[in-house]
Amino acid sequence: MKVAVVKERRAFERRVAASPDTVKRMVDMGLEVVAESGAGGEASFADDAFATAGASIAPDAATALGAADIVLKVQRPLIGDEAASDELRYLKRGAVLVGLLQPLRHPAQIEAYASAGITAFAIELLPRITRAQTMDALSSQANLAGYKAVLEAADEFGRAFPMMMTAAGTIKAARVLVMGAGVAGLQAIATARRLGAIVSASDVRAAAKEQVESLGATFITVDEAAARTAETAEGYAREMGEDYQRRQREKITETLKRTDVVICTALIPGRKAPILLTEAMVAELAPGSVVVDLAVEAGGNVEGSRVGEVVTTPRGVKIIGHANMASRIPVDASQLYARNLLNFLTLLVGKDGKLRIDMDDEIVRATLLTENGMVVNPALVPSAPADARASAS
Ligand code: NAD
């Protein structure tokens, strides 16, 4: 069976879905790997490194994809008139496609996979069970995004993060507030602490308090009772009511007066991200403060943030809206993502090197979007239970 890896062509994307390490492992599994020339260029994986690991190098995407039984992608393929290149057109009927396919945001594309006879898997729909942890691309990428968000903030910040006592005077430690203490937020806290900042954090889920405190940051509680019911069975946050949001804003506004940098990471699966910082709240920050909106592509946590831009407010606060933060650290993000996909592939490929789609496996069932020309995922089929739909992103 042939596995194809191609260059990612969507805006802001620098990652690639395989690494020399995972190519070697796929070859050991009895798979043939074909990589488009330049596929790993932005992640510093040269064609030579892929070839040494056992891949053959195809001159272009059409050649690589046309031969493939399995296609590994980071982003969903370009379709129709989205760009100069229609990647889906090159895939043969019956090919398996695995990637971060964003099924709820782009349902029409899922229909297109079905019509093209593609068997598509959305890796972000993995259930959060122990067995799936090695495949959990949302976590591997969010972790790096949280790290990079702090470095981007430090870069835009005109001051230092650590306290420094020098002969010329003392520099005060920066005060960082992290909103949303999931995977990205916890890494942001750890990174800001390592840089010497004084860190506080807030989250709607009660479980976050202990995790935040274990990293040496202060937890800001909005409503203890509400926090206890804010977590879904899957470990994600629920959308909070108006009253909670109002109280959260009041509480955070008090903190903003003493804050230099805010990192916002809050997401609600399948929904628009909650607004955590209104324009009035951003105005509470001192000139020179920096806000990072990691949720900018999901609608944004910060009023005034713009995808792919650094906006400076009239008061001189910078709002960083970089798209696809994980891809700004493309080597490690690709290494980890490639490993996630490799681990997922072990579910789809039998010991004989042949494809085996086992619908009794809950990981396969949860991630499979289309099969035999039909959309089959319960999160996308209207008659499915609402719970299943809410857990998709
Ligand atoms: P996420 O990316 O969906 O959201 C980021 C954070 O934003 C979450 O902590 C969420 O509670 C928070 N949030 C949402 N609305 C908010 C609001 N209005 N105000 C403040 N914060 C808000 O979440 P995530 O990072 O993917 O992870 C959520 C949890 O799942 C974490 O505790 C994580 O450790 C856990 N997790 C478990 C597994 C597993 O395999 N068991 C794997 C990955 C993550």
Polymer length in residues for the chain? 393
Starting at the edge strand that comes first in sequence, how are the strands of the sheet with 318-320 ordered?
A: 218-219, 198-202, 175-179, 261-264, 290-293, 318-320, 310-312
Residue whose CA is closest, atom 40 of ligand 1? 128
Going from the C-alpha of 260 to that of each of 203, 280, 317, the distances in angstroms are: 19, 16, 10
Can you read off the two tokens belonging to residue 142? 């969010």
What pLDDT shows up at residue 391?
44
Label residues 287-303 b or e (16+ Cβ within 10 Å = b). Answer: eebbbbbbbbbbebbbe
Q: Is 145 helix (H, G, I), strand (E, B) or coil?
A: helix
Beta carbons of 21 and 55 less than 8 angstroms apart: no
SS3 letters for 320-361?
ECCCCHHHHCHHHHHHHHHHHHHHHHHHHECCCCCECCCCCC
Beta carbons of 184 and 294 less than 8 angstroms apart: yes
Our CA dihedral for 139, 145, 146, 148, rounded to 10 degrees, sits at 150
Distance 226 CA to ligand 1 centre (A): 16
- Residue type present at position 91: L
Residue whose CA is closest, atom 13 of ligand 1? 266
Residue whose CA is closest, atom 9 of ligand 1? 182
Label residues 243-281 b or e (16+ Cβ within 10 Å = b). Answer: ebbeebbeebeebbeebbbbbbbbbbbbeebbbbbeeeb
Our CA dihedral for 381, 383, 387, 393, rounded to 10 degrees, sits at 20
Closest CA relative to residue 270, chosen from 102, 137, 117: 102
Beta carbons of 171 and 215 less than 8 angstroms apart: no
Among 136, 139, 177, 183, say which to mutate for ligand 1: greatest number of ligand atoms within 8 Å of CB: 183
Residue whose CA is closest, atom 2 of ligand 1? 267
- For residue 267, the Cα-to-chain-centroid distance in whole angstroms is 11
In this structure, the number of other CB atoms found within 10 A of the CB of residue 78 comes to: 19
What pLDDT shows up at residue 327?
98
pTM: 0.94
What pLDDT shows up at residue 305?
98
Can you read off the two tokens belonging to residue 31? 């798979």
How does pLDDT run along the chain (393 residues), one tens digit per residue? 999 999 999 999 999 999 999 999 999 999 999 999 999 999 999 999 999 999 999 999 999 999 899 999 999 999 876 666 788 999 999 999 999 999 988 888 999 999 999 999 999 999 999 999 999 999 999 999 999 999 999 999 999 999 999 999 999 999 999 999 999 999 999 999 999 999 999 999 999 999 999 999 999 998 888 888 888 887 788 888 888 889 999 999 999 999 999 999 999 988 899 999 999 999 999 999 999 999 999 999 999 999 999 999 999 999 999 999 999 999 999 999 999 999 999 999 998 889 999 999 999 999 999 999 999 998 887 654 444 444 444
Beta carbons of 333 and 341 less than 8 angstroms apart: no
In this structure, the number of other CB atoms found within 10 A of the CB of residue 351 comes to: 9
Distance 323 CA to ligand 1 centre (A): 19
Distance 207 CA to ligand 1 centre (A): 10
Q: Which helix (H) or strand (E) segment is 311 a member of?
A: strand 310-312
- Whether 109 is a known active-site residue: answer no
Distance 345 CA to ligand 1 centre (A): 26
- Ligand 1 contact via 188 beta carbon (within 6 Å): no
What pLDDT shows up at residue 382?
62
- Whether 14 is a known active-site residue: answer no
- Whether 236 is a known active-site residue: answer yes
Distance 298 CA to ligand 1 centre (A): 14
What pLDDT shows up at residue 392?
44
What pLDDT shows up at residue 387?
43
Residue in 19, 139, 305, 335 annotated catalytic: 139
Residue in 19, 109, 136, 391 annotated catalytic: 136
Can you read off the two tokens belonging to residue 356? 């085996």
